[in-house]
């Protein structure tokens, strides 16, 4: 890329970037310039408008008009070769760090540069289209953080072109874990986080991070530290500005929790830490429907996910067992557009592990079982199993129990609010994801803007038989 100048700086014919360094051409002779030389040239430049400056992209035979030093800074940032010292020199010349040029900001230019380089990873779902250059990636991240420390705004006026939402919607997913850690540990970045900012698909940072949790977890060699880090980052995001947008739905009607439901795995949920999201139990909308009418509790079946793991996560990290009787009831009887409830999906798929988790919860709620704070989920599941075996009318198998307990389970308090937050019927919904679907086909936007397919059944399942609930329904207290 070349920056030809005229008039007062006739000696300066052009700048040229090559392999990360700048070159200075004088009378067609190329001489490598170091950073100090670049700064000296910048000091000599008055506003380029005084000599009708132009910038020429010689490789593409394109010429652009530039009128100020701001334009030169944009050009240098777009090349990915700017250092802190060069930024300081432009700032000393009163360049507006939040200026826009051709509808781009300095941070958005760095975003595009970050799509071109990355670190070597063990897993890549698609063929790699970037250069493995961790040093260059670190330099770009450092430049972005320095601009932010100098009060570059990570948010946009329209709330649709912010730095983070754009970045995490376009960079390769396997590069996300490292960049999340680098950016979301910076105090200035954290202070600017705003849940109003969305990507082109209407996803805010909570949507994007919940989509990537599985990748963040699997990329670490220390699962316990990874889970703690995930909890810390998600808690930070949830505490952002404008938390009233926490349950916002993207263009397909998905909330962050629809994405979360597809990200939680058995390995993740089985790691014990002191972190939880119980303080957010009244803010996380698990009854909100997407365009297909699926809540996050449904989506684990309509995507290739792990229903049992997600249900256990909900019933431990969001709703601790000792608070099940105090928390809003899970919307297990909400019907999606295919007239399927969560309970019907559990029964139809014969998902015994998911049934076991939900049966434990329904038994506690149905029989008003009081739990001690110290009860673990596995302890509760074991003792509830013993309790249910004492009621002859309750089947011994998990699927039979789901049918039986589901009859008595009353979630109307929670279900009554679900319709106000659901979208109208849509022909295209579900979650952007890399995995193939598991369930009549719907187009599906993926995280990398690709298209996949989603299979759904048109059959309606009614898990509620005509059998009557029998047995002792008096209150029962269970202690660990």
Mean pLDDT, residues 36-56 taken together:
48
- Write out pLDDT tens, residues 376-424: 899 999 989 999 999 999 999 999 999 999 999 987 654 433 333 333 3
pLDDT band at 126 (very low <50, low <70, confident <90, very high): low
Q: Cα Rg for the chain, rounded, in angstroms?
A: 28
pLDDT (tens digit per residue) in 107-121: 999 999 999 999 887
- pLDDT (0 to 100) of residue 11: 32
- Secondary structure of residue 392 in the 3-state scheme: coil
User: Over 50: is that where the pLDDT of 206 sits?
Assistant: yes
Q: For residue 194, give the DSSP letter.
A: B
DSSP H or E segment with residue 225? helix 223-238
Give me the pLDDT at residue 49, please. 41
Query: How many residues in total does the chain contain?
Result: 480
CA angle 427, 429, 432 (to 5 degrees): 145
Give the H or E element holding residue 455. Answer: strand 451-455
* DSSP letter string, 137-174: HHHHHHHHHHHHHTT--SS-SSSSS-HHHHHHHHS-GG
CB within 8 Å of 313: residues ≥ 6 apart: 264, 268, 269
How far apart are the C-alpha atoms of 47 and 299, rounded to whole Å?
Answer: 57
Tens-place pLDDT, residues 314-345: 999 888 888 888 888 899 999 999 999 999 99
DSSP string, 59-72: GGTEEEE--SHHHH
How, if at all, do strands 451-455 and 62-65 pair? Answer: unpaired
Closest listed residue to residue 217, CA positions, set 168, 180, 187, 258: 180
Token pair listed for 355: 């049934």
Q: Which residue do the tokens 């051409």 mark? A: 25
Please report, for residues 63, 165, 354, 430, 437, the alpha-carbon distance to residue 300 in angstroms, rounded to integers and kept in the order given. Answer: 52, 25, 10, 11, 10
**CA neighbours within 13 Å on the CB side: how many for 116?**
11
Torsion angle in degrees (nearest 10) through CA of 131, 137, 140, 141: 150
Q: Which of 414, 388, 230 is nearest to 319 (CA)?
A: 414
Residues 6+ apart with CB under 8 A from 100: none
Name the 3-class secondary structure at 26: strand
Q: Quick one: which of 314, 385, 298 has its CA closest to 346?
A: 298
Cβ within 8 Å of residue 83, ≥6 positions away: 35, 143
pLDDT (average), residues 39-67: 43
Question: Which helix or strand (DSSP H or E) is residue 362 part of?
Answer: helix 352-366
Q: Which two tokens stand for residue 307?
A: 């229903």
What is the CB-side half-sphere exposure of residue 216 using CA atoms within 13 A? 29
The DSSP code sequence of 26-88 is ETTEEEEE-HHHHHHHHHH---GGGGT-EEEEGGGTEEEE--SHHHHHHHHHHHT---HHHHH
Q: Which pair of structure tokens corresponds to residue 258? A: 């629809």
Tokens 């002779």 correspond to 29
Q: Whole-model pTM? A: 0.75
Q: What would the pLDDT profile of 216-231 be if each residue is shown by its tens digit?
A: 999 888 999 999 999 9
Alpha carbons 246 and 198: distance in angstroms, whole number: 12
CB 469 within 8 A of CB 404: yes
The answer to whether the beta carbons of residues 213 and 391 sit under 8 Å apart is no
The number of C-alpha atoms within 13 Å of 334 and in the hemisphere containing its C-beta is 28
Burial of 34 (0-12, 13-18, 19+ CB in 10 A): exposed
| Sign of the torsion formed by the C-alpha atoms of 259, 262, 263 and 266 | positive
Percent above pLDDT 70 for the chain: 70
Amino acid 342: pLDDT: 96
- Of 318, 391, 326, the C-alpha closest to 359 is 391
Mean pLDDT of 153-159: 90
φ and ψ at residue 131, rounded to 5 degrees: -85, 135
Mean pLDDT comparison of 161-165, 181-185, 303-307, highest-scoring range: 181-185
């Amino acid at each position: 890329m070349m920056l030809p100048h005229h008039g007062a700086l006739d000696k300066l014919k052009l700048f040229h970037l090559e392999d990360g360094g700048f070159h200075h051409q004088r009378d067609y002779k190329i001489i490598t310039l170091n950073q100090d030389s670049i700064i000296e040239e910048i000091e000599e430049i008055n506003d380029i408008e005084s000599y009708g400056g132009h910038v020429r992209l010689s490789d593409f035979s394109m010429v652009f008009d530039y009128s100020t030093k701001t334009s030169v800074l944009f050009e240098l940032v777009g090349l990915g070769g700017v250092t802190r010292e060069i930024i300081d020199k432009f700032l000393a010349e009163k360049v507006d760090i939040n200026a826009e040029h051709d509808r781009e900001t300095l941070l958005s230019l760095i975003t595009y540069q970050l799509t071109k380089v990355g670190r070597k990873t063990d897993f890549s779902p698609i063929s790699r289209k970037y250069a493995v250059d961790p040093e260059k990636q670190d330099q770009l991240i450092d430049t972005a953080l320095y601009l932010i420390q100098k009060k570059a705004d990570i948010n946009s006026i329209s709330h649709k072109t912010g730095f983070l939402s754009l970045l995490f919607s376009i960079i390769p997913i396997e590069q996300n874990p490292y960049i999340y850690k680098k950016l979301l540990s910076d105090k200035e970045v954290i202070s600017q986080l705003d849940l109003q900012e969305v990507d082109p698909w209407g996803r805010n940072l909570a949507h994007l991070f919940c989509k990537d949790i599985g990748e963040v977890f699997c990329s670490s060699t220390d699962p316990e530290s990874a889970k703690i880090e995930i909890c810390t980052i998600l808690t930070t995001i949830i505490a952002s500005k404008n938390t009233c947008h926490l349950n916002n739905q993207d263009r397909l009607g998905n909330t962050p929790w629809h994405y979360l439901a597809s990200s939680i795995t058995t390995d993740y949920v089985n790691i014990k830490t002191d972190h939880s999201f119980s303080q957010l139990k009244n803010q996380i909308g698990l009854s909100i429907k997407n365009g297909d009418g699926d809540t996050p509790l449904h989506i684990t079946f309509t995507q290739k996910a792990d229903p049992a793991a997600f249900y256990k996560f909900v019933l431990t990290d969001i709703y601790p067992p000792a608070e099940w009787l105090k928390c809003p009831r899970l919307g297990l009887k909400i019907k999606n557009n295919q007239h399927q409830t969560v309970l019907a999906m559990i029964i139809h798929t014969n998902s015994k592990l998911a049934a076991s988790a939900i049966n434990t919860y329904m038994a506690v709620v149905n029989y008003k079982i009081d739990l001690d704070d110290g009860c673990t989920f596995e302890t509760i599941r074991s003792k509830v199993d013993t309790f249910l075996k004492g009621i002859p009318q309750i089947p011994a198998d998990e699927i039979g129990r789901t049918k039986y307990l589901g009859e008595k389970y009353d979630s109307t308090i929670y279900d009554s609010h679900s319709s106000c937050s659901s979208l109208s019927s849509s022909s295209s919904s579900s979650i952007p994801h890399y995995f193939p679907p598991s369930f009549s086909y719907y187009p599906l936007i993926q995280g990398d803007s690709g298209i996949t397919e989603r299979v759904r059944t048109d059959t309606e399942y009614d898990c509620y038989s005509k059998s009557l609930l029998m047995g002792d329904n008096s209150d029962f207290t269970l202690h660990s």
